[in-house]
Copies of this chain bind each other. A is one copy, B any other.
Amino acid sequence: MRIIVADDHTMFRHSLTMLLKREGFDVLAEASDGVETIALALRLKPDAVVLDMNMPNLNGVEVTRELARLGLNIRTIILTMFEDDVSVREALRAGACGYVLKTQAPTDLVQALHELDQGRIYLSPGITNNMVDVCLRRDESSDEESSDALTSRERQILQLVAEGKATKEIARLLNLTVKTVESHRSRLMRKLDTGNIAGLVRHAVRQGIIRA
């Protein structure tokens, strides 16, 4: 099974890679941020990608979304520190095949990868099982609160802005024009009802898109 490991904490990433290799997985490469992960995935076409949730540039869910959009048949497992209800739901909706807590033993991740190989979805114990039902029910029913819901692209931009990246830098990272990024930023401000970057940052922190 050919996989890529993505996490911005090199110490964790290297350690984990070693462990996974020992477990018989073929770790093709490591990435330390979301954009790099996408690039590597495109090049190496792995079977699966293990994604840290909180990464610079693009978080785990966004990477999942992007990989799904690109139509590559690459499954992903989100690795995270928090058993956040909302995050789990978003991860699953983005198409992630697994949601594994870092508080769990590495065997948990190994199991998740095996489940994924069988085409199944795996959630760490500690995440309520009815979570899945809840998610699915939500999915089918309706999207009422989606009036000001941010789009995937907008969340991407929001994260980068909140991280302090300049417009020019964001444009380069995402391969867009400066004007496009400005356009997104403006729309974000309108949606989030704020007239400046400070407001965007607070929103991003509040919504867990970045940590302060």
| A103-B10, A205-B205, A212-B212 as given contacts; A199 in contact with B15, CB under 8 Å | no
Q: How many copies, total? A: 2
Residues of B near A199 (CB, < 8 A) are 164
For the complex formed, measure the closest distance between the CB of A96 and the CB atoms of chain B, giving whole angstroms: 17
Q: How many residues of A contact B (CB 8 A)?
A: 41
Looking at chain A's contact residues, the main secondary structure is helix
List 19 additional contacts besides A10-B105, A18-B22; criterion CB under 8 Å: A8-B103, A9-B12, A11-B12, A11-B16, A11-B100, A11-B104, A11-B105, A11-B106, A14-B106, A15-B16, A15-B19, A18-B18, A164-B194, A164-B195, A164-B199, A164-B202, A198-B201, A201-B202, A206-B212
A residues contacting B by CB (< 8 A) are: 8-12, 14-16, 18-19, 22, 79, 81, 100-106, 108-109, 161-164, 166, 194-203, 205-206, 210, 212
